Amino acid sequence: MKIRDVLATGRRTISFEFFAPKTDQGVESLFRAIRRLSSHRPDFVSVTYGAGGSTRNETVDLVSRIKAEVGLETMAHVTCVAQTREDVHDVLERLEELGVDNVLALRGDPPRGQGVFVPVEGGFRYASEVITHIRRNFDFGVGAACFPELHPESVDAASDMVHLREKVDAGADYLITQLFFDNRDFFDFMDRARGVGIRVPVLAGILPVLATAQIRRFASLCGASIPPALDRELEKYVDDDDGARELGIEYAARQVEELWRAGVDGIHFYTINRSHSVSRVLEAAGLPGTAG
Ligand SMILES: Cc1cc2nc3c(=O)[nH]c(=O)nc-3n(C[C@H](O)[C@H](O)[C@H](O)COP(=O)(O)OP(=O)(O)OC[C@H]3O[C@@H](n4cnc5c(N)ncnc54)[C@H](O)[C@@H]3O)c2cc1C
């Protein structure tokens, strides 16, 4: 089923994002987490595409396995880093053959150490080009990324919106945000997006903090800011991951509660392949679909 068809009914979605583990043991523990989280009846789950397309085979295998073995709707992330148009086309063909209905079309980040993104010769330059290619050649439901605090390479808010609008005009059915910790950033982003005529649903990306050092690293890598008050609290748990995790659960639950009350189209959890915090956030926020 296409995620856009679920959203078109007016249903507000809950979804979980996972990454492709590198070991068999990691895959086993991922499936345990997915099965536990499936009790929350998510509308879909997604699997990321490792940096530079490094996990493309694993991503394809996992989305089809999750669909077949756990019975959840899936979405495959696809990026165009270090791949030709033909490479990306082949991955899309395999996803289609395996009966995957949804794709998150992304450009991807430049490999570490290479400051700017450089497409391979003849490769896609922007996510909007991948979306156009998908629309011309495939019948997937298509999502795209958006950035409440602007994409780190964006020159300014206006050009960020121009390029986001290009992705929607190319055929993105819905958008999923980068993680953010201040709901005002999300609400301001929504005002800007609606202001330039972007009407598609926007799912808010939420990451429950698991550890202080880890979240500081993640946030700086993806250009998300940690509000000073949260950072001061996190500082208390620099050497106490359990404490940081409890803080993360409480903080994310408050974020989700406020977003849900404000009528957000959906919440997309960055799970880091863990189930405990996300389950607790859903229960604390009292969201529909929670198993209780
Ligand atoms: C929900 C979500 C999931 C993600 N999953 C993954 C994943 O699985 N694997 C992974 O590697 N990365 C992932 N990322 C990270 C993402 O790939 C990076 O943030 C990347 O830098 C931007 O990807 P994009 O699709 O938004 O790119 P684009 O939309 O192409 O934008 C990239 C930059 O180019 C600018 N731009 C766009 N079009 C033009 C144009 N025509 N002219 C000039 N400038 C332009 C944009 O403003 C932006 O600054 C994810 C991000 C999000 C929010």
Structure confidence by residue, pLDDT tens digits, 149-184: 999 999 999 999 999 999 999 999 999 999 999 999
Q: 288 pLDDT exceeds 90?
A: no
User: Is the pLDDT confidence value at 292 over 60?
Assistant: no
CA distance linking residue 288 with residue 40, whole number of Å? 8
Q: Is residue 280 included in any domain, yes or no?
A: yes
CA of 252 to the centre of ligand 1 (A): 24
Domain, as residue range, for 20 = 3-285
CATH number of residue 93's parent domain: 3.20.20.220
Rg of the chain over Cα atoms, rounded to whole angstroms, equals: 18
Distance 144 CA to ligand 1 centre (A): 8
3-state secondary structure 46-59: EECCCHHHCCHHHH
Is 17 annotated as catalytic?
Answer: yes
CA angle 244-248-250, nearest 5°? 120
Let me know if residue 253 belongs to a domain: yes
Query: Does 290 fall in a domain?
Result: no
| Residue to substitute in 151, 160, 198, 265 for testing ligand 1 pocket (most ligand atoms within 8 angstroms of CB) | 151
Instruction: Classify residue 200 by its DSSP letter.
Output: S
How high is the pLDDT of residue 291? Answer: 52
Is 216 a domain residue?
yes
Residue 190 within any structural domain of the chain: yes
pLDDT at 112 over 80: no
Residue 292 lies in a domain: no
What mean pLDDT is predicted for residues 66-86? Answer: 96
Q: Is residue 291 part of a domain?
A: no
Counted domains in the chain? 1
Catalytic residue among 17, 73, 129, 149: 17
Please give the model's pTM, rounded to 2 decimal places: 0.98
Ligand 1 centre and the CA of 109: distance in Å?
Answer: 7
